[in-house]
């Protein structure tokens, strides 16, 4: 008879989310070795849930960690907010962010077995989403913001400033969280996106019956408004939209920023 007890079965079930009979069979197949049994279940379970990879997973949780001049953002994706709010889910995404700060982006691979176990237990298409690490230069300021919803992080931001202070960096991070700018400056906006938008605005302007001589000026004005929706430095600050982010920064500058939010 295999050398394991009912307590071993329960421990394996709690660790993997497997059913009682599956846990017993895994221990039987593994001669009572807990680690081998967990691996057996993982392999069998992943075979069963391979089809989950085609299902939408627009829910999840994000975590952010800042330790000195190093920061990390990690997203863990799920199909339902019910799974994303669970303690095991939020604990894993937080652990992953801590790991990225400590050892780098590639270190998340060390927790792949736990990610597989979670996928089996939840029976959902759970996968790692965006993973970001920022190593701020000496003398620069690094700060973050995390928006929580139902006990899970849903919107996380990291900002590195040259000049300024942590309070300013935090204000910028809060702004980014809610304004969601994809670019820092106009120069970062792909030229094909600009050309496409300019053409669309010209078509709209023509359809409105505006005088042809006025088209360039009208299109330029509308394109400037389009930039302000997408470029961080040109956006109005969320707490005072009459002040742009560039004005708020004063002599400081944004070196870079990163944002991860659920549904992005």
Within this chain, do residues 147 and 73 fall inside the same structural domain, yes or no?
yes
Is 1 inside a domain boundary? Answer: no
The residues that bridge with 74 in the sheet, in sequence order, are 63, 131
Within this chain, do residues 236 and 135 fall inside the same structural domain, yes or no?
yes
Band of pLDDT at residue 232, cut at 50, 70 and 90: very high
Is 210 inside a domain boundary? Answer: yes
CATH number assigned to the domain comprising residue 34:
1.10.8.10
**How far apart are alpha carbons 73 and 84 in whole angstroms?**
16
- Please state whether 86 falls in left (phi above 0), alpha (psi between -120 and 50) or beta: beta
CATH number assigned to the domain comprising residue 94:
3.30.479.20
pLDDT of residue 128: 93
Give 93-122 as a DSSP string.
HHHHHHHHHHH-GGGGGGGHHHHHHHHHHH
Is 172 inside a domain boundary? Answer: yes
**How far apart are alpha carbons 23 and 64 in whole angstroms?**
35
**Could you tell me what percent of the chain has a pLDDT over 90?**
70
Within this chain, do residues 239 and 108 fall inside the same structural domain, yes or no?
yes
**H or E segment to which residue 71 belongs:** strand 70-78
**How far apart are alpha carbons 222 and 143 in whole angstroms?**
33
Number of C-beta neighbours around residue 247 at 10 A: 12
Within this chain, do residues 179 and 224 fall inside the same structural domain, yes or no?
no
Give 48-67 as a DSSP string.
HTGGGGGS---EEEEEEEEE
pLDDT in tens, 24-59: 888 888 888 888 888 888 777 755 665 666 677 889
pLDDT in tens, 148-170: 999 999 999 999 999 999 999 99
pLDDT of residue 46: 59
Within this chain, do residues 138 and 254 fall inside the same structural domain, yes or no?
yes
Within this chain, do residues 217 and 201 fall inside the same structural domain, yes or no?
yes
Number of H helices, E strands in the chain: 10, 8
Instruction: Identify the domain containing residue 194 by its residue range.
Output: 190-230
**How far apart are alpha carbons 176 and 226 in whole angstroms?**
17
CATH number assigned to the domain comprising residue 204:
1.10.286
Q: Across the chain, what does the average pLDDT equal? A: 91
19, pLDDT greater than 70: yes
Q: Which residue has the tokens 């991070």?
A: 173
Within this chain, do residues 40 and 98 fall inside the same structural domain, yes or no?
no
Domain count, the chain: 3
Within this chain, do residues 113 and 235 fall inside the same structural domain, yes or no?
yes
pLDDT of residue 240: 93
Within this chain, do residues 247 and 127 fall inside the same structural domain, yes or no?
yes
The answer to whether the predicted template modeling score (pTM) of the entire model surpasses 0.75 is: yes
């Amino acid at each position: 008879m295999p050398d394991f007890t009912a307590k071993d079965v329960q421990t394996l079930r709690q660790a993997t989310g497997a059913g009682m009979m599956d846990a017993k069979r895994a221990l039987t197949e593994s001669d009572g070795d807990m680690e081998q049994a967990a691996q057996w279940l993982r392999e069998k379970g992943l075979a069963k849930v391979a089809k989950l990879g085609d299902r939408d997973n627009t829910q999840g949780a994000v975590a952010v960690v800042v330790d000195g001049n190093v920061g990390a953002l990690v997203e863990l994706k799920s199909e339902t907010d019910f799974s994303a709010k669970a303690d095991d889910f939020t604990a894993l995404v937080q652990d992953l962010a801590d790991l990225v700060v400590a050892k780098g982006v590639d270190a998340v691979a060390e927790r792949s077995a736990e990610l597989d176990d979670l996928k089996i237990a939840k029976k959902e298409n759970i996968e790692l989403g965006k993973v970001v690490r920022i190593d701020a230069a000496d003398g620069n300021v690094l700060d973050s913001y995390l928006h929580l919803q139902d006990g899970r992080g849903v919107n996380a931001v990291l900002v590195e400033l040259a000049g300024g202070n942590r309070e300013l960096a935090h204000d910028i991070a809060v702004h980014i969280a809610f304004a969601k700018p994809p670019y820092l400056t106009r120069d970062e906006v792909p030229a094909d996106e600009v050309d496409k938008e300019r053409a669309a605005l010209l078509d709209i302007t023509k359809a409105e019956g505006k005088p042809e001589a006025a088209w360039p000026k009208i299109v330029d004005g509308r394109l400037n408004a389009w930039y302000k929706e997408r470029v961080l430095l040109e956006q109005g600050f969320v707490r005072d939209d009459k002040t742009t982010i560039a004005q708020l920064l004063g002599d400081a500058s944004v070196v870079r920023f990163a944002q991860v939010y659920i549904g992005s």
